[in-house]
């Protein structure tokens, strides 16, 4: 196992009705003048925003509001948020929504105390300060409620890029699984796919002797395989929603990924799709992640065969472990299909003729990206092509 540091300072407040305590936790974490940040209307329609406002008022906390965050959040609203925070002397940002709202809040938080353009942090620069951020989570998916990451899309040029810093790890995250019951089945499935992808990106590693994190990864994946069909069939199933919600956080705080080399190429390859087509990140991953697996499994068929047997219940073919590895990929795609996810470029609304542009935007030139298998631009082209017409389907 590799050396590691694990820092997860977020206070998680989990369960029914916890959104009514938002004001209490803002005060506890030092907020006195809050920016309430939210999305396109689901939090208004469900009455959640009203509850959060009431809880802030109960604690005597003043607040300003900025709604309108789009899925695949844009830089333009971030600039607006930075200006608003400066004008109103905001000292705490509360994101009420999913990964997009939380990521937008994190970007504003880094931008407010910074003299330059906040986009610098999405181009490799590390922030030195950030306003405190907290969340009231409404969808189990991105894991941003427990992560130090934020992903923003620059409208001009459609660049989707990530920033990472412990400074933007949420101070607290309120997680009421009941809030996720209003999600349409498609969004629920997109979230589930993203959660599973966060685990797979860590599971396929070249680091050996990492039994503890292998087993933690498998536990999260087995949970998702059991619980996702339950909430698709019965959206109001609180217990299944609760298990999925916590799985989403566990999948991405990095507790299942410490001490091992990870591979985030499927995410990078997918981000170009959601940047160009504005599709849901999870749907893009349903198309890309199995295609990536199809491309790389021969690098270590035994690791893929381990996944196939332990996660997908395949019989091990000791003579030809590659057969087992392939069967695991087939079963992953079948699962994704069963929860209503797209599996091909066409089903996602992507176009094969855009592949050169997608690879170009990925921007590795003649270099290679790190991970389980180090990929060249030609390899990324090959993965997109598999996603156009998968073999193991």
What is the Cα–Cα distance from 274 to 277, expressed in whole angstroms? 5
What is the Cα–Cα distance from 381 to 93, expressed in whole angstroms? 40
Q: Does 174 bind ligand NZQ (CB under 6 A)?
A: no
Q: Which of 63, 48, 60 is nearest to 18 (CA)?
A: 48
- Beta carbons of 79 and 157 less than 8 angstroms apart: no
Question: In this chain, which of 72, 165, 193, 262 binds ligand NZQ, going by CB under 6 A?
Answer: 72
64-to-18, 29, 67 alpha-carbon distances in Å: 22, 18, 10
CB of 382: closest distance to Zn ion in angstroms?
22
What is the Cα–Cα distance from 55 to 185, expressed in whole angstroms? 30
Q: Does 43 bind ligand NZQ (CB under 6 A)?
A: yes
CB of 323: closest distance to ligand NZQ in angstroms?
31
Q: How many residues bind ligand NZQ (CB under 6 A)?
A: 35
Go through 96-111 and write b for each residue having 16 or more CB atoms within 10 A of its CB, e for each that does not. bbbbbbbbbbbbbbbb
Q: How many residues bind Zn ion (CB under 5 A)?
A: 1
- Residue 122 is given by DSSP the state G
23-to-15, 107, 172, 177 alpha-carbon distances in Å: 16, 22, 11, 19
Binding mask 228-267 for Zn ion (x = CB under 5 A): ----------------------------------------
Question: In this chain, which of 8, 32, 182, 207 binds ligand NZQ, going by CB under 6 A?
Answer: 182
Q: Does 97 bind ligand NZQ (CB under 6 A)?
A: yes
Q: Which does 127 bind (CB under 5 to 8 A by kind): Zn ion, ligand NZQ, none?
A: none
Interface residues for ligand NZQ in 185-204 (CB under 6 A)?
Answer: 187, 191, 194
Question: Which residue, 289 or 383, has its beta carbon nearer to ligand NZQ?
Answer: 289
Q: Does 249 bind ligand NZQ (CB under 6 A)?
A: no
Q: Which does 71 bind (CB under 5 to 8 A by kind): ligand NZQ, Zn ion, none?
A: ligand NZQ
Q: Does 149 bind Zn ion (CB under 5 A)?
A: no
Question: In this chain, which of 103, 194, 214, 327 binds Zn ion, going by CB under 5 A?
Answer: 194
Binding site for Zn ion (CB under 5 A): 194
Question: Could you list the residues that contact ligand NZQ (CB under 6 A)?
Answer: 39-43, 71-72, 97-101, 103, 138-139, 141-144, 147, 149-151, 179-180, 182-183, 187, 191, 194, 252, 267, 274, 281-282
């Amino acid at each position: 196992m590799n050396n590691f540091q694990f820092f997860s300072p977020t206070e998680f407040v989990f369960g029914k009705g916890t959104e009514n305590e938002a004001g209490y936790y803002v005060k506890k974490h030092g907020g006195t003048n809050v920016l309430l940040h939210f999305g396109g209307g689901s939090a208004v329609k469900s009455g959640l925003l009203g509850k959060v406002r009431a809880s802030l008022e109960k604690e005597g906390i003043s607040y300003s509001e900025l709604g309108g965050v789009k899925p695949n959040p844009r830089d333009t609203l971030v600039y607006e948020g930075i200006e608003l925070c400066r004008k109103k002397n905001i000292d705490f940002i509360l994101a009420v929504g999913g990964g997009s709202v939380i990521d937008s809040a994190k970007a504003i938080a880094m931008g407010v105390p910074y003299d330059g353009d906040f986009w610098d942090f999405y181009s490799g620069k590390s922030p030195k300060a950030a306003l405190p951020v907290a969340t009231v989570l409404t969808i189990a998916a991105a894991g941003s409620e427990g992560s130090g990451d934020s992903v923003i899309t620059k409208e001009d040029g459609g660049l989707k890029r990530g920033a990472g810093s412990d400074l933007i790890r949420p101070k607290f995250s309120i997680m009421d699984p009941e809030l996720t019951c209003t999600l349409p089945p498609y969004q629920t499935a997109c979230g589930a796919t993203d959660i599973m992808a966060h685990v797979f990106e860590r599971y396929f590693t070249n680091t050996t002797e990492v039994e503890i994190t292998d087993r933690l990864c498998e536990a999260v994946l087995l949970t998702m395989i059991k619980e996702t069909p339950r909430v698709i069939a019965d959206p109001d199933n609180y217990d299944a929603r609760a298990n999925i919600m916590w799985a989403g956080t566990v999948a991405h705080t990095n507790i299942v990924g410490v001490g091992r080399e990870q591979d985030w190429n499927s995410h990078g390859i997918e981000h170009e799709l959601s940047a160009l087509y504005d599709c849901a990140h999870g749907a893009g991953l349903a198309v890309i992640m199995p295609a990536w697996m199809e491309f790389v499994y021969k690098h270590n068929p035994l690791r893929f065969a381990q996944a196939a047997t332990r996660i997908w219940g395949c019989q091990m073919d000791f003579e030809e472990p590659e057969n087992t590895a392939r069967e695991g990929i087939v079963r992953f795609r079948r699962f994704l299909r069963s929860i209503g996810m797209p599996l091909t470029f066409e089903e996602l609304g992507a176009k094969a003729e855009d592949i050169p542009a997608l690879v170009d935007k990925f921007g590795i030139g003649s270099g290679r990206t790190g991970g389980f298998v180090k990929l060249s631009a030609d390899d990324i082209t090959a993965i997109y092509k598999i996603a156009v017409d998968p073999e193991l389907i």
